[in-house]
């Protein structure tokens, strides 16, 4: 696989370009991510960036490090700052030899750095799609990114845990055409409907 740090940085760049299209008066919009509004989703994404940055630097054991961070009246700027922080943390010398504490995942870790960064990469491709879907557009992720994210999505555990309130992903949807776009396949594995559209557009 192409370097996971590079994949993650490129996914974040595309997601940032999508968040840059969000104005403060759009934060009430619904998203495909459970019952979250666009504002709640962006607060989660921003908080997770800070949490992963802390984990990359040896911290992150405290759930407070992962708390949602509302984006206020500057969604693009607030999210961009968090993306720059996590990208810098992932690029630090020796980071791939570290263990990441991820208190919201299974036993909390530590997880090998490449695996933890892979979790982040998966989240920001999927959440980038969430943002785009909320805006009624299709994200322009590089085909190399969507091809790389599919096998990671396939390793996300299934089962009753996905049916619990607050689960990170909904139960998988039935597979369709095996030749479908890798992003669509990954979304279905994670319980997202690739054909989701905002209620006002239906």
Residue 34: Cβ-neighbour burial (10 angstroms; 0-12, 13-18, 19+)? middle
Distance CA 193, CA 145 (A): 19
Q: Is the dihedral of CA 31, 34, 40, 45 positive or negative?
A: negative
Q: In the chain, what are the domains?
A: 4-157 (1.20.120.450)
Please, what is the average pLDDT of the chain?
92
Residue pLDDT, tens place only, 75-100: 999 999 999 999 999 999 999 999 99
More confident residue, 169 or 40: 40
Task: Report the pLDDT averaged over residues 58-63.
Answer: 94
Task: Report the pLDDT averaged over residues 109-126.
Answer: 96
Residue pLDDT, tens place only, 168-191: 788 899 888 766 799 999 999 999
Task: Report the pLDDT averaged over residues 116-135.
Answer: 97
Q: What is the pLDDT of residue 1?
A: 43
Percent of the residues in the chain that have a pLDDT greater than 90, as a whole number: 79
Distance CA 98, CA 105 (A): 17
């Amino acid at each position: 696989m192409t370097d996971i740090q590079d994949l993650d940085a490129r996914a974040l760049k595309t997601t940032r370009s999508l968040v840059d299209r969000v104005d403060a008066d759009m934060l009430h919009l619904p998203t495909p991510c459970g019952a979250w509004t666009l504002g709640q989703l962006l607060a989660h994404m921003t908080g997770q960036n800070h949490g992963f940055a802390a984990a990359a630097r040896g911290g992150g054991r405290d759930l407070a490090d992962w708390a949602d961070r509302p984006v206020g009246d500057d969604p693009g700027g607030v999210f961009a700052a968090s993306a720059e922080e996590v990208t810098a943390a992932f690029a630090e010398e020796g980071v791939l030899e570290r263990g990441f504490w991820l208190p919201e995942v299974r036993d909390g870790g530590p997880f090998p750095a490449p695996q933890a960064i892979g979790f982040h990469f998966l989240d920001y491709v999927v959440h980038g799609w969430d943002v785009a879907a909320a805006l009624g557009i299709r994200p322009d992720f590089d085909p190399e990114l969507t091809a790389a994210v599919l096998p990671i999505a396939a390793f996300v555990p299934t089962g009753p845990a996905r049916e619990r309130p607050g689960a990170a992903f909904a139960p998988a949807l039935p597979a369709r055409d095996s030749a479908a776009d890798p992003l669509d396949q990954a979304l279905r594995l994670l319980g997202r409907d690739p054909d989701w559209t905002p209620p006002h557009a239906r």
